[in-house]
Structure 1
Amino acid sequence: MSVPAGVSVGQRLQVSIERLVFQGSGLGHLPDGRVVFVPYTAPGDLAEVEVAEAREDFIRANLVRVVTPSPVRVAPPCRYFGDCGGCQWQHLGYAAQLHWKREILHELLARVGKLSGVPVAEPAVPAGPWEYRARAQFKIFAGARLQIGFHQRETQRVVDLDRCPLLDARLNDVLRTLRGMRDPALHKLFPRVREVWAAAGTGTGEVVVSLFARAQDRAAIRLLFHRIQAEVPALTGVVLLDGDPRQHPRFVDRHGQGAILERVGDCRFRVDATAFFQVSGLAAGTLTRLVMEAAALTGTERVLDLYSGVGTFTVPLARLTRQVLGIEANAAAATDAVHNLRSNGCPEARIVQAQVEQVLPALAKDGPWDLVVLDPPRQGCSRQVLDAVTGMGVPRVIYVSCDP
């Protein structure tokens, strides 16, 4: 594709940033009206930028320096910000972050969904912006020295971290302990480890560490457990899995527990090391409350909970009405959901382990259903599922989305 006249890759420009857009970049315009996207900028910034990509209708550029800072710009508290790809908005005050999340959702509903004028509530904030994440997926690079952290923005390079201000203190303790290990057995293990996941239970204090490795080194797993537990007494288990963590890895071995307990309100959940759970237990509680308020159950409804996971919504729904059926594809999560229903006094509710697309046609014929709750993975519901749900004639649908 040819570079537009008057603009070349590598050229430096000054751009006034007008607003923020989906995925976090700032948006400005050239004098000829073309849009410029610049990461790590804030509305109100006058920025010097360097063109990285120039197309006929838009330009992507990198921030060189802030000429005049926006009133909402703050000093990022993390020294890795801008290199680590985990955060995009640490240079914004928290109130500005919440404001622009709401504005971006408004814009997406209008531009993509053709739903202008849809009311969007103020963000429900369960906690502050720091130390709220109770789950971490650390990337590993074992070259001349061990590097453990997160990927650099838009690359696979590992940014070596000593701590992350977003993480629960227990997870930072795990990170610090892993970085400090020098045992020969562990040095032998780490070149074969792809990722290390760590989870800290909300309200229970438990910590579980999961290693996704290409080999089966059981002795090193036991050694790792004791080394971490010496620094992180809350550790209850280390799990070894073989394969890609996002492609149904195979369980190999564990030392200690293979799951943690979570507490959300007055419900307790067992969560397997490979099962999904909200990264913040406080956020899970806020989200559950909002879903229950929207459900407004009277006790007589039949409810479908699709993509039910470990039963985060299934359990409180089952406490409020007569018939609840959860559908979950992940075997470990479905097993946990059955356990969680029983342990929370809801044995009548059922869980079916299956792909939603496979069982929904039969469930539609088993109606009528009074409520469908959808909480799909990040990629959202397939067109097949959306068409099936809209064709069921369900009077109410609650769709929980982490990515609009």
Structure 2
Amino acid sequence: MIGDPLVLALAMVGVMFVLLLSSTWIGFSLIGTGIAGLLMYDLNLPPTLSIWDKIGDLLANSMWNSMNSWALSALPLFVFMGEILYRTAISTKLLNGLVPWLTRIPGRLYHINVVACSLFAAVSGSSAATTATVGKITLDELTKRGYHKSLALGSLAGAGTMGFLIPPSLIMIIYGVLSDTSIGKLFIAGIIPGLILALLYSLYIISQSLLHPEYVPEEQEASYSWGQRLGLLREILPVFLLIALVLGGIYMGITTPTEAAAIGVVGALALALYFRNLTWESFKEACLAAVRTSAMICFIIAGAAFLSQIVGFVGIARALSEYIASLHLSPYVLILVIGIMYLFLGMILDGISIVVMTLPIVLPIVVQAGFTPLWFGIYLVFMVELSQITPPVGFSLFIIQHISQQDLPTILKATFPFFLIMIFMAVLVTLFPELVFYLPAKMVGG
């Protein structure tokens, strides 16, 4: 039996990694780690109460409380909305509408990745869906037109991760549920950092295009009159309307995130029917994919809730917080240490796993250091975005490798500058937290 909570925490981390390395499902790994923690801890239970009875009570209680959440119901709805859009021609229309507006900017069509990913992220909520959908359209088009392969791959990898930052975001929903933070405020808080990150990506593309003129093909792009540009806006107007429909109600305090998600599903179906590209087969595929994704995420959340309860029950969170406090680290040094930890975790875990596995331990420490859960939620999203393009488990890297048929070292080299830009943005948000707080403070009742 282990009586010291910190020693127990190390033992539980070891158990967790053994389970993960044995290819056990993440949800089962989290539950198994929690059970192992209770079995190793000296509980001093009365003779009438079995350890397995206690485990059963905690497991049932934590799973029910984590799943019995009205806010969590927004998650499968946003997943479903993204799946519908992924299987329709809305994304192609988005590209057609953007091309005329980017031909005069240095770098020209490289910016398609940034702008298209930003817009699609605002209606999908998933980095994987954003990267896959935009990448399938833009990479082939850029290659045919003679654009530099490395900058095209890097801009897609960097911009594709914004599906987690620009609302609605599945990671924000999960974080909001686990941390008891307003999901609506998280959505609004991500807008300014998301737009700044997109701007930094575009500025990098412009600088590279000016420094390396050979990156942009010499042949002239088709010229468009203002009448043609305005006419082609009809192609992207439906996307803007859907974004306004989903986020406008949240921003004005009219709808909750769950209600906005339901409206978004109806809006996505209406657009698909309007463009006449939703078949019965694609609708069934969207339903099944949404169920699979939602069930996987919810099972992970349930396992994380159980582990979180165990961490609190045996006193790990309190002991760890007291230990960190005894080190007398400044708040910024603490955030730096946590950021390095997340960079390491991003090499071996996917984004959702990072959030649900670390939040029970990290959040109390961060709050004790003086940071708010709202700000830390946006900071954590940046760390999760980094995990999407961190080898060897960066999920966006696998998606781009599948789409482009390029080897992983080539993709990593192309992605590295955008990886550094994302780290810079995380530092910027840390030094200037008003970037996160400004819009939520303007919310109705905010």
Alignment TM-score, normalising by the size of structure 1: 0.22
Structure whose residues are more often strand by fraction:
1
Alignment TM-score, normalising by the size of structure 2: 0.21
Structure whose residues are more often helix by fraction:
2
Per chain length, whose mean CA-contact separation is higher, i.e. which structure has more relative contact order (CA < 8 Å, sep 6+)? 2
